[in-house]
Amino acid sequence: MKKYFGTDGIRGRVGEPPISADWILKLGWAVGKVLAAKGRGRGKVLIGKDTRISGYMFESALEAGLSSAGVDTLLLGPMPTPGIAYLTRALRVSVGIVISASHNPYYDNGLKFFSAEGTKLPDDIELAIEAALAEPMLTVDSRALGKAVRVRDAEGRYVEFCKSTFPASLDLRGLKLVIDCAHGATYRIAPSVFRELGAEVIEMGVNPDGFNINESCGSTHPAHLAKRVIAERADAGIALDGDGDRVIMVDHTGSIVDGDEILFIIGKWYSETNRLTGGVVGTTMSNYGLEVAFQRANIAFTRTAVGDRHILERLQQNGWNLGGESSGHIICLDANSTGDGIVSALRILAVMCSRSKSLQELKQGMTKFPQTLINVPIAARVNIINNPQIKSAVSAAEERLKGLGRVLLRPSGTEPVVRVMVEGEDPLMVENLAAELAAIVKGAIA
């Protein structure tokens, strides 16, 4: 069992272990020690971050820890998570590290890791790092200390990569787009990508101050974007999260297009253009309407546990190339090795341009089932599966749905909450059942 690594790296409140400067210093050393033990020589580690204030502190701590273990570092500064995955491969480094808490508020932070292939670290490497953390921290001889170099053209490299994923036969001329960068890592890159492909771009969330990342903006708060799309009479809106691996879109009427609908549009396009290898991977949280829509289109669909790590594992197991989550985390393995908000948005825009259809028209092939999701705060990780009171309540709810919906309860892998989700044909029943279950869960774990 891992003590620190979760489904998406390490995450927590800044100043509280393990998200403290001294702990991150030792983590850097532990990563360097494991690289040396794996025969990677001096090795090189790439470090990027989002725009939250604590990123400066943790960047310095990581750099110092890695240097003390004899590992060189390449510093990118603010860079989207998928950009770091791409550059980890392109620059041939041993490990890429992202300092980010993704869609969380500024007072949280975390670390995500990429292997040399741009995928999540294997379990054995994460376990080896955790084992090293329990050892005394010893600095290598001064002659063997690692050096740090800042990569000056990182942004330009990633901008060109994103543009290369858009069909060469198309451009975005004539489209007006509103881009909400959540005051996060994409605040300079995303507007450049869409402008250079020909779109008229209206910017939102591009003034990070270290504290406003994800604050009432971005993919977790798309309502402001929807209003702006209507006000500007734009063709579409694109909302990214703080580290740029998620995207939620808005059509020209101001209606929100979530990750399930984005996955459906891309999946159908892939199938029609012979780009789809096999089928599509969703998660336990994917709307049942997505499954039905893929069935009608004769596209194979399977579910896995929530988290991009699980989606990627299933894609690799099946030899497939497309998967995603309702939250807007879409993995197009034919383009990048992880979820990429900009690339996913470009995929949707490519369908709009090639089909000469609006985003609203493209999503019509899928009808979402009413779904209510309630997050119940918890103080610590709890086992809800075997709680008799909760099990009884879930069974009763499923019986009331009569096979025309589903119930899902699961602890979040990134936040201290239990997610209570109910889905069904009757929206009022769904809402009431979710509220009743959330109250029972709250009482049972109090």
Helix (H, G, I), strand (E, B) or coil at 277: coil
How far from 370 is each of 44, 290, 405, 406, CA to CA, in Å?
Answer: 48, 12, 9, 11
Give the number of other Cβ atoms within 10 Å of residue 208's Cβ.
Answer: 22
Angle, vertex CA 105, rays to CA 100 and CA 109, nearest 5: 30
Written as one letter, the residue type at 43 is: G
Q: Which residue has the tokens 């979760």?
A: 6
Instruction: Confirm if 290 and 282 have CB atoms less than 8 A apart.
Output: yes
Instruction: Quickly count: other Cβ atoms within 10 Å of residue 130's Cβ.
Output: 18
Respond yes or no: is residue 219 known to be catalytic.
Answer: no
Amino acid occupying residue 24? I
Q: Give yes or no for a contact between 119 and 125, defined as CB atoms under 8 angstroms apart.
A: no
107 alpha carbon, distance to own chain's centre: 18
Cα gap 214→183, rounded to integer Å:
7
H-state helical runs in 43-176: 55-68, 81-90, 123-133, 154-164
- The answer to whether residues 267 and 275 touch, using CB atoms and an 8 Å cutoff, is no
Query: Given its phi and psi angles, is residue 238 left (phi above 0), alpha (psi -120 to 50 degrees) or beta?
Result: beta
Q: Which residues are within 8 A (CB) of 422 and not within 5 positions of it... i.e. 6 or more apart?
A: 371, 372, 397, 401, 405, 406, 407, 408, 430, 431, 433, 434, 437
Give the Cα separation of 93 and 382 in Å (integer): 38
Alpha-carbon distance values, 233 to 21, 208, 229, 247, 347 (Å): 46, 26, 6, 20, 22
Which two three-digit tokens encode residue 111? 């670390």
One of 20, 54, 67, 102 is an active-site residue; which one? 102
For residue 196, the SS3 value is helix
Which two tokens mark 327? 């939250």
**What are the residue numbers of the active site?**
102
